[in-house]
A = this chain, B = another copy of it.
Amino acid sequence: MKVLGYASSSKEAGLTPYNFTRRDPRPKDVVIEILYCGICHTDIHAARNDWNSTIYPVVLGHEIIGRVVSVGPDVTRYKQGDNLGIGCMVDSCQKCDACEQGEEQYCKKGATLTYNSIDPHDQMKTFGGYSEKIVVPENFVLRIPDSLDLKGAAPLLCAGVTTWSPLRHWKIGKGSEVGVVGLGGLGHMALKLAKGRGANVTLFSRSPGKEQDARRLGADDIVISTDANQMASVNNKFDLIIDTVPYVHDVNPYIASLSRNGTLVMVGFLGNLDPTLNTAPMVRGRKSLAGSAIGGIAETQELLDFCGEHGITSDIELIKIQDVNKAYERMLKSDVKYRFVIDVDSLKARG
């Protein structure tokens, strides 16, 4: 199957139109025409090979909304015309205990990622959602509730489930105290979802000026993290803090603001903590530091259904695919409220 997309071909190149071949559909596959695709910070890392793992050329995009074009003979759950979503994974071993427990993101053999992965069935490289079509096994496809705006639903597939999964795992509900560090794509979803679950929600922000927006998104309070008095006022307060900051930063002040038995979960930064972590307040309050990656397929569906019931979507700015490189530059300056979504229909305007 010949497909047009946008690809990054080298660390410096920027994204340009790219024709590539997708696999022919297997009996359990769904062929999907892509309508929208959110832009995740991970896309930028992969485009620029920040993690030294990019196989060029790479077609990015793992916040995909599309419509079913055709289904294989063994597909039972979807039919032509259905609105569907695809997130960060398109397959996993389906046999390990992680997969059996619906935590495919932690598959022992490694899930097959939506882009820049090698499909173990045919050794073909996977290509993401900055493209016309995608072919995905039905058990990695998500149903989009009719009530949701499709554009705003795209970021639920990564930014949404990445913040939903810890809220669910750490049993956040009515009366829980939740802190959110950082107000970007993930942070703004964390505010909406924590509020949606009934928690009291506080945004930690380095700079003033975000208060009005934060409150609109669900925050009950805002704490300026550079203000020692404000930080002291939330000492030992939070059951869960979702730290969405994607670069290295000092986590110790957030540990101080965890309640007894509280957890700081990092969903943005992977690497060596600097400054280092002080364990003393963790011992003295049975506090935890944890990490969490995206979410399983069943919990992604649960999130989408929850968002359908609660009318929650991402705040987005819709762009044409021809503007993707400009969008990347703006994202690096945090100049987006709060997620760029590509109108993939703009791919047709080639020529």
Contact = CB atoms under 8 A, between A and B. Distances in A.
A282 B108 CA distance: 14
A98 B260 CA distance: 8
Nearest to A284: B293
A277 B252 CA distance: 13
Contacts of A287: 290-291
A288 B286 contact: no
A263 B266 CA distance: 15
B276 A277 contact: yes
Interface in A260-279: 260, 263, 266-267, 269-274, 276-279
A106 interface: yes
Nearest to A274: B276
Contact of A282 (B98, B260, B266, B285): B266
A289 interface: yes
Which of A97, A266, A290 counts the most chain B CB atoms within 10 A?
Answer: A290
A285 to B, nearest CB: 6
Closest CB pairs A-B (n = 9): A283-B291, A282-B291, A270-B280, A288-B290, A276-B276, A288-B288, A106-B260, A272-B276, A289-B289
Interface string A284-305: 1111111111000000000000
Contacts of A333: none
Contacts of A272: 276-279
Nearest to A288: B290
Interface in A129-184: 169
A290 B280 contact: no
Given A103-B260, A266-B283, 19 more contacts: A98-B260, A106-B284, A106-B285, A266-B282, A269-B279, A270-B279, A270-B280, A272-B277, A272-B278, A273-B278, A276-B276, A276-B277, A279-B291, A281-B291, A283-B291, A284-B293, A285-B291, A288-B289, A289-B290
A282 B106 CA distance: 11
